[in-house]
Amino acid sequence: MAANVERVLVTGASGYIATHIVKQLQEAGYRVRGTVRSVSNPVKVGPLKELCPNPAHELELVEADLTKDEGWKEAVQGCSHVLHTASPFPLAAPKHEDELIKPAVDGTVRVLQACQEVGGVERVVVTSSCYAISDLAETPKEPLTEENWLKVEKLGLNAAYAKSKALAERAAWDFVEKLPAESKFELAVINPSVVLGPALCGAPGTSVEIVRRMMERDPFLAAKVSFPVCDIRDVAKAHVVAMTLPEAAGNRHIIAPCTLWYLEMANALREEFGKQGYNPPTSLAPYFLLKVGSWFDSSAKTIVQIHGHKVNFSDHRLRQVLGITPYDPKVTLVDMAYSCIDRGFIVKKSAYKPRD
């Protein structure tokens, strides 16, 4: 534990990524404060208190909502480091992209503004995304690096979400750059790809749909699409390391150690779960079927946009700067599938054998 860290604030503490961060921070002996929208919600608050058995310091939870000003100054008070993981995400696709972009940008600025006004914060780590680097609809010859930025004027896969992550991150860099000398604090950014891995509590993010569909063979045939993937435990560790590592300040950090084809991921799951009643797809869907489907189905249209594309990202800062050796992606997938089955997010087959 770094001696100069007084207390760490984790925003959106009940989130998929945040729960792993809170757990790792508590295991390292840090004092941790987390924000939730309601401290009186036992479904979310209860499991958070149990993330780390016998912690040196009990987890403190406070109320703060990214869409409101109230509570943020109180949340930041007494914290030397802030890990901003919270980001609004609608359950349904927004009618207009501003419904997603505005709260993401405003929420990030709201947290940074509180850090400036309260004072005493030394560094903020912001959770961005690889979507702030690329929307995955391109096919670059070389791995993308932290120098690359999404061209927000370009429409592509998940345009509103990608734009929200890019613009929120830009807003963070612009805010910190314009801070007066007397209220300066450092900024580090984490840019994870598609985050997979076991959930500690609650739902394991939107990425559960990728694994659920593979396990339940929905659809029957696999599309020729790829996903840059990373392990949730590596993402959490990246936040914890970037919080105090001198070389992390003022930099972005891509967490995307590999890119896998959908069929590669399905094969890894079939090796583990094939004898347990699960039958992930084994064959590719012809392109013409996807093309025809895209005329009637918006999700198929999205698949057509990235069909055959494979985007690779540099893992230099992940390995060489943060010093993280990433999980084997097959281990990540299998761990996530077991977690999702045990938690009821994937149908439990009669032949399923839970881990000891």
Q: How far is residue 265 from each of residues 228, 280, 320, 332, 336, measured CA to CA in Å?
A: 11, 9, 27, 10, 12
Per-residue pLDDT for 261 more than 90?
Answer: yes
Residue 140 forms part of a structural domain: yes
Catalytic residue among 163, 165, 224, 237: 165
SS3 state of residue 124: strand
Residue 277 is assigned to a structural domain of this protein: no
Q: What is the mean pLDDT of the chain?
A: 89
197-225 per-position pLDDT tens digit: 999 987 777 788 889 999 998 776 777 88
Question: Is 289 domain-assigned?
Answer: no
- Residue range of the domain that includes 126: 8-198+228-259+311-327
Q: How far apart are CA 204 and CA 232, in angstroms?
A: 10
Residue 278 forms part of a structural domain: no
Report yes or no on 239 lying in a domain: yes
Which run of H or E residues covers position 175?
helix 159-177
- Note the pTM of the prediction, 2 decimals: 0.93
Residues 247, 248, 251, 252: is their CA dihedral positive or negative? positive
Residue 290 makes CB contacts below 8 A (sequence gap 6+) with 223, 300, 303, 304, 307
Distance in angstroms (rounded) separating the CA atoms of residues 156 and 146: 20
SS3 (DSSP) at 240: helix
CATH code for the domain in which residue 12 is found: 3.40.50.720
Q: Which of 30, 34, 33 is nearest to 5 (CA)?
A: 30
- In this predicted model, what pLDDT tens digit does every residue of 41-51 receive, in sequence order? 888 899 999 99
- Residue 1 domain-assigned? no
Position 17 pLDDT exceeds 60: yes
Active site residue 165: yes
343 inside domain: no
123 located within any domain: yes
**Which tokens go with 200?**
């500690």
| Number of domains making up the chain | 1
Q: Is 70 exceeded by the pLDDT of residue 341?
A: yes
